[in-house]
Amino acid sequence: MKQSIDLKSVQHDLKIVRTLWPYLSTHRYTVQIIVCLGLLSSALEGVSLYLFLPLLGLLGQEEALQSSLSGFGGGTLNYLPSSFHVPVLVMLVISAIVAKNALSYINATHFARVDAENGHRMRQQLFAAILSAHPSYIDRQQSGRLANALLSETWRVARALGALYRVITDCCSIVVLGLILVFLSWETAIFVAPLIAVIGAIMHRITERAKAIGEGAVAANTSYTDRTWETLSGLRTIRIFGRASFEEQRHERASLQIKHFFLSAQLLAQLVPLIFETLVAAALGVWIVIFAWAQTGVPTMAVFLLVLYRMQPRVRSLMSSRAELLELGSAALEVENVKQECELSRPTPGIHAFHAVNQAIEFVDVSAKYPEQNRPAISGITFTMRPNTTVALVGPSGAGKTTIAGLLLRNLQADAGEITIDGIPLDDIRAADWHSRISAVSQDIFLFDGTIRDNIRYGLLEASDAEILEAARLAYADEFIEKLPQGYDTEIGERGLRLSGGQRQRLALARALVRKPAILVIDEATNALDSHSEQLIQRALDSIRTTMTVLMIAHRLSTVRHADQILVLDGGRIAERGTYAELFEANGRFNAMVRLQALEFSGDTQGP
């Protein structure tokens, strides 16, 4: 059982290293440079320590140790007066230390540049992966998970790379200093090795806890980000219902989770060096006793202990870095998992170009369901959209209207049937071409923080001012824009909150029209608007319906009066189809819906 646990631990460690290793390998020879510079700096440190042996021999006037000069370039020193031996050795020690520190600095600055570049590249790659992920994947995720991976975990991965760098350089130092110990006295090194192994095993068991802390920290971060994101998005609702104290309690619970895991990580980080230092102090005492029993000379024992003393912070740093790597490694695994999931969900790019609908858009026996649902949202949907015509979808909530729009926008994937554009399957059309020639206006409008001009230009980044003005005119948005103090340069605030609902709707329509799309999808565009705003939106739609192919989802049936074809949906199927006049005269579901709305709204209640 214990061997199984140790094997899993090793596999987890290797998985973290394999995840981080590509980031170190993004620059050519990065790992080789780090290892070589680490070995060289450690070797120079070893030289400076080893030179203490003849130096102490000279100071102690011990002939046996003075003779060791001949084993370390002492022949050269013999050509110098004896009074110069100590100063020369001191200069050599200082030179070795200066060279060692210079190489360490070069190594550290090289890694700092690589780390900064890797952090930027990692955030860009993750951001690009999220943007290219299939919308259905994004919909299934907690918003907090994606935001946490991008905003928090990427920074923790950068810290994990730093820990991996320290592990590499510390290992180089430990190897070099260990070889020096063997060179000084292999017999003594044999007695030292078991104690080092025991200390390593003890520290390994202690740092294992970092793995669970790291995994818990990722989950706590995700939960906290999700909670904060939802709260900030719903501040108005919170105030309306007077739920500030309730939200404070929920926020406190999420924050306490973070406090627990990060406090545990800090306490472990503080505990590791203290325990290690205590174990090393005990080991040093044992080694001194062994040296005394072996009647080792004082200079040799002093240099041996000096090397051990210099090795101690390296081993301590290695243990601390490993604990940090285990804790932060969970962030690396989470970032990699999110990136891979996004890339795997990426829709097929398609191979056929698309510019406009020349023949027809056809839905042939199409069925689709959402991943979290057992029953299909739509079943057996078949209809045709001719170029520059308007097809309207009406029906109760949950009938499948938005699902059909989502399929056309390629936000969803059909489970059965086929959607073709001029006879070509929709999935075979280049995604970039398709999205450049289709626009959408939904009930839930999202506007960016910036000016009115910037938001309209978002539909076509290269749009000229004249094209922006024309799009605003077509959407009847110029009426209110020209009344604003700064006109098109007016800042609208985050999500356009400084505008009314009708103004946001018309601005969104202008954004959709500025790109002169071949296909326009309108989802409940006039729902919840005042009568004046509804009339303006309706006028805009009437003026463009013969210049592009329009799929319209409507709640207010007055807005579909001029549609070329109306599909009445019920239970995910098409219950009726026809023009407004045909359906009203058929005295079926559509007729009943019109009469029901006539009781709710003032206006024409007598049909077409």
The token duo for 552 is: 């319209």
Check whether 231 has a pLDDT greater than 80: no
Buried/exposed 443-471: b ≥16 CB within 10 Å, e otherwise: bebebeebbbbbbbbebbeebeeebbbbb
Across the range 206-230, mean pLDDT stands at 74
Find the helix packing angle between 30-50 and 154-184, rounded to 10°: 40
Q: Return the sign of the alpha-carbon dihedral for residues 577, 583, 587, 593.
A: positive
Across the range 24-51, mean pLDDT stands at 77
313: amino acid identity, one letter: P
Q: pTM score, two decimals?
A: 0.72
- What are the residues facing 521 on neighbouring strands? 440, 551
Confidence category of residue 36, pLDDT binned at 50, 70, 90: confident
Distances (CA, A) of 142 to 129, 149, 344: 16, 11, 18
Answer with the residue of higher pLDDT: 333 or 67.
333
Average pLDDT, the chain: 79
Give every CB contact of residue 230 below 8 A, 6+ residues apart in sequence: 143, 144
Between the two ends of the chain, the Cα-to-Cα distance in Å is 79
Quick: pLDDT tens for 303-362: 677 777 777 778 777 877 877 787 788 888 888 888 888 888 887 888 999 998 999 999
Look at residue 37 and give its three-state secondary structure.
helix
Across the range 262-278, mean pLDDT stands at 76
Q: Return the sign of the alpha-carbon dihedral for residues 231, 235, 240, 244.
A: positive
Q: Which one, of 306, 319, 308, 305, lies nearest residue 273 by Cα?
A: 319
Confidence category of residue 194, pLDDT binned at 50, 70, 90: confident
Check whether 569 has a pLDDT greater than 70: yes
Answer with the residue of higher pLDDT: 24 or 389.
389
Give pLDDT, residue 292. 65
Across the range 390-397, mean pLDDT stands at 90
Residue 217 has phi, psi (to 5 degrees) of -65, -40
Give pLDDT, residue 257. 84
160-164, 211-215, 450-454, 481-485: which has the minimum mean pLDDT? 211-215
Spatial distance between the Cα atoms of 193 and 198, rounded to a whole number of angstroms: 9
Confidence category of residue 236, pLDDT binned at 50, 70, 90: low
Q: Which one, of 468, 531, 480, 538, lies nearest residue 504 by Cα?
A: 480
Confidence category of residue 380, pLDDT binned at 50, 70, 90: very high
Quick: pLDDT tens for 500-557: 888 888 888 899 999 899 999 988 766 656 666 677 777 777 777 778 899 999 888 8
The token duo for 550 is: 């329009």
Confidence category of residue 604, pLDDT binned at 50, 70, 90: very low
219: amino acid identity, one letter: A
Spatial distance between the Cα atoms of 62 and 244, rounded to a whole number of angstroms: 80
Q: Which one, of 429, 401, 426, 430, lies nearest residue 414 by Cα?
A: 426
Under 8 Å between Cβ of 474 and 439: no
Give pLDDT, residue 364. 94
Give every CB contact of residue 318 below 8 A, 6+ residues apart in sequence: 166, 167, 170, 171, 174
